[in-house]
Amino acid sequence: MDSMILFLFKIILISGLLTTWYCIGLRNKRLHQYNRFFLLFALVISLTVPLLHFNFFTMQQAHPTFASPANYLIQAISSTSAEEPIVAAKVLAPAINWYTVIECISVIISIVLLAVLLVRIMWIFRLASRQKISEVDGIKLILTNHPKAPFSFLNYLFWNDSILLDSENGQLIYQHELTHIRQKHTYDKLACQALTCIFWMNPFYWFIQKELMMIHEFIADGATIKENDTEAFARMLLQAHNSGSYLVPEHQFFSSPIKRRLTMLQTTIKPKHNTLRRIAVLPLMAGVVILFSFSTRKIANPALNPADKKIVLLLDAGHGGADIGAAYNGFKEKDITLRIVNRMKELAPGYNIEAQLTRDKDEDLSLVDRVAISNKLKPDFFISVHLDDSQPTMAKKGDFFIGISSASLHGPDHEGPSSKLSSKVLLAILPLKGLLLLHQWDDIKGIYVLNHNTAPAIMLELGDIKVKEQIERIYKDEKLDEICNDILKGVVNATKG
């Protein structure tokens, strides 16, 4: 599964779990400040936990895997068959890459929503610039006849000049808005609304935004109206109406459901129950972190014949960033090579190999930088992974193409280890079913990462991006494992006689 889709799935699942608990245990309870920070914390947790990766425990098995419990859950939801592993490209994509189209549409919608939010913020500042501003109680008071007033934004209080400020009702409304300003509710709203714009496809973010606005009103009501003083509350809301709009950055006094606010003022506080509700969230948070951040790492069985001495192997995923490499029908070489080296790194510990990567994400990395990384690390071996895109005419269904090249410009002392690594990896790969050797080059003088490397270095071309069956082979977990395991076996054999 594409890493971005997986990330979005995790965000939705985590925010969904936390929102569910909020609705069951916290909603409409007199825990306003706690609920405020819980909802903000839910946003932060849903974004950060999917980025965390911890090893939970290690197991041994013949075919290593590396996955978190959440990944298994998502695969179970997404897969069409229980026995069949999830495959990012089960069938070769059509000429139109619908994934890219949907991705572009999603980005456009996010940009439009952010633009709407920005326009509304600019409208507030324009309105402020047209009016006289007075400093009162440390805030900027602006008198206006705009129908939305009174409302507050940051340190601004826009006051409707038809409401007498020194009247009893006016003072209640004034203290209400003053609470919004002093407790910095605007920052909550802006952060929540910005995230909702970016991750608009997450329905729980929209719900959290709505609830956070409601909690702000509860807090302001509680600071303004005495408990059970419904008469004062009614007087304050004589002109109230409910707009029900989203992405409104200011706190509008007459914009929240009146019934919930009135009910909340009459709700009694039960300290014992509220303490239990606060504590109950701790196991929920622990469960979320374990489910979505911890992974069970399974390493290879000792029967895989690991190296006697630890081997440091530097794996180089070809291309990256703006340099996509070969491309065909929506597939990009830079993405496939990264998938291969990441899988090799996961399998490497079973062979007593410490695998390092020149890049572990999609980023621009020059040939000079790749060589510099290698020469600084001084690994035992360097392997650069690429794909072919020639689609040879002798190809038959089921064939799998490889090409292998070795460094040779550092004299006989260096040529020997590189050539040995090349031949050992080739011999280990040869038993692969349907293998077709396209080329085996020695004395290659045009490959920078080989010729300028101080470590024994080879380049591998694994499969042809234009051949459907070969791309599917790389994306099927068990088939990719065969390729990666054989390469690692060849690396181990290169250290032996």
Which pLDDT does position 63 carry in this prediction?
44
pLDDT in tens, 381-428: 999 999 888 766 555 666 677 778 876 544 444 457 888 888 889 888
* Cβ pair 86, 78 in contact under 8 A: yes
Sheet holding 251-252, edge to edge: 133-136, 139-144, 156-160, 151-153, 251-252
Count CB-CB contacts under 10 A for residue 16.
Answer: 16
- Is the confidence at residue 466, as pLDDT, over 80? yes
- If DSSP codes are grouped into helix, strand and coil, which group holds residue 238? coil
Q: Please, is 182 exposed, middle or buried when counting C-beta atoms within 10 Å of its C-beta (0-12, 13-18, 19+)? A: middle
How much of the chain, in percent, has pLDDT values that exceed 70? 69
d(CA 65, CA 51): 19
- 125-134, 190-199, 265-274, 297-306 — most confident range: 190-199
- Is the confidence at residue 84, as pLDDT, over 60? no
- Is the confidence at residue 11, as pLDDT, over 50? yes
Domains of the chain listed by start with CATH number:
3-273 (no CATH), 304-493 (3.40.630.40)
- 194-203, 249-258, 446-455 — most confident range: 194-203
* Cβ pair 242, 258 in contact under 8 A: yes
Q: Are β-strands 139-144 and 156-160 bridged in parallel, bridged antiparallel, or unpaired?
A: parallel
Dihedral (CA of 262, 267, 269, 270) sign:
negative
Which pLDDT does position 248 carry in this prediction?
58
Q: Residue holding tokens 């290690």?
A: 58
244-271: average pLDDT: 58
Count CB-CB contacts under 10 A for residue 132.
Answer: 8
* Cβ pair 361, 403 in contact under 8 A: no
List helix spans (H) across 237-329: 258-266, 271-293
Distance of CA 32 to the CA centre of its chain: 30
pLDDT in tens, 469-493: 788 888 877 788 888 999 999 999 9
